[in-house]
Amino acid sequence: MRKLVFLAPTLLAACAATQPLVHGVTPGHSCHARTPGEFVGHPATSETGAAILSATHAAVLRWAPPGVMLTMDYREDRVTVRIGPDGRISAVSCG
């Protein structure tokens, strides 16, 4: 039993060694929408979403269909893709 008591802090320290997730930040990711107009007019598909994530270096992709309300919180690791009523991308922005 005593060995377990001495081993517990070591196990907990190993768990804490990872970099913590801060609200709104995924370590190593920050959205950079250099050419957001590049995807405007394209169909809103998973392939297009993957291309947007790759182009912007964001960690999180948020789809915004027409008429949907979004939170106003800012996340530097997120890219928001607005979709028009025709199912095509109407805007791409970070946050």
> Going by DSSP bridges, is the β-strand pair 78-83/60-64 parallel, antiparallel, or unpaired?
parallel
What confidence score (pLDDT) does residue 79 get? 92
Specify the pTM: 0.69
Query: How far are the Cα atoms of 8, 13, 25, 42 from residue 22, in angstroms, in the given order?
Result: 26, 19, 5, 33
In this predicted structure, the answer to whether residue 84 has a pLDDT above a threshold of 90 is yes
Among 94, 91, 95, which residue's Cα sits nearest to residue 39? Answer: 91
| The two structure tokens encoding residue 86 | 């025709």
Domains located in the chain, CATH noted: 26-94 (3.30.10.10)
Mean pLDDT of all residues in 16-26 = 53
- Report how far residue 80's alpha carbon sits from residue 50's, in angstroms, rounded to the nearest whole number: 13
Mean pLDDT of all residues in 21-36 = 68
In this predicted structure, the answer to whether residue 22 has a pLDDT above a threshold of 80 is no
* Per-residue pLDDT tens digits for 32-80: 877 668 899 999 999 999 999 999 989 999 999 999 999 888 888 999 9
CA angle 85, 65, 45 (to 5 degrees): 85
**Tally of CA atoms within 13 A in the half-sphere of 9 that contains its CB:** 4
